[in-house]
Amino acid sequence: MAKQKLVEAEAAAEDDVTVSAEDELERAACTLVPVRKDKFNAGAVLPYGLTIEHVYLAMNEFVNFLGYINQQLNSKSIQRFESMLMPANFSSMVGEFMTSTIPKHCTTLAKNQYHNGRTRPAPEGTVPCKSASTHLVTLASAYTI
């Protein structure tokens, strides 16, 4: 179901880019590029039932989200979202989005609700104790560039 929505969103997004034809770099930046599953580190060991498929689906949701936001900004001649934010703010937003999205696909993880805690997912059932810092999941090694 989620994969079908992803395919439909990608097809619709390709037709929605309204940047000027002269600005090829901006056009390229506003065109959705799906996450390539073949670029994931197949040897990554992910904890707590998390799989590459879960991360892949969450990353594609982020790409679609960013594409939607950028298309709306572009329709009002406003610069792309990632260009207007400071890099640390954009990075934080990506982390928050992934932390909120991964548990939709991996039911063994939940967002750490501790207000000053790390925003990475924690194993389901450990979150209410608000001390899941020893059970944090780092996903950086799951995706190779």
- List, for residues 21-58, the tens digit of each pLDDT value: 457 777 777 778 889 999 999 899 888 889 999 999 99
Task: Tell me, rounded to whole angstroms, the distance of Cα 106 from its chain centroid.
Answer: 14
3-state secondary structure the chain: CHHHHHHHHHHHHHHCCCCCCCCHHHHHHHCCCCCCHHHECCCCCCCCCCCHHHHHHHHHHHHHHHHHHHHHHHHCCCCCHHHHCCHHHHHHHHHHHHHHHHHHHCCCEEECCCCCCCCCEEECCCHHHCCHHHHCCCCHHHECC
Q: Which pTM does this prediction carry? A: 0.66
Domain range enclosing 45: 2-142
In the chain, the number of structural domains is 1
List, for residues 70-113, the tens digit of each pLDDT value.
Answer: 888 888 888 888 888 899 999 989 988 998 899 999 988 877 76
pLDDT more than 70, % of the chain? 61
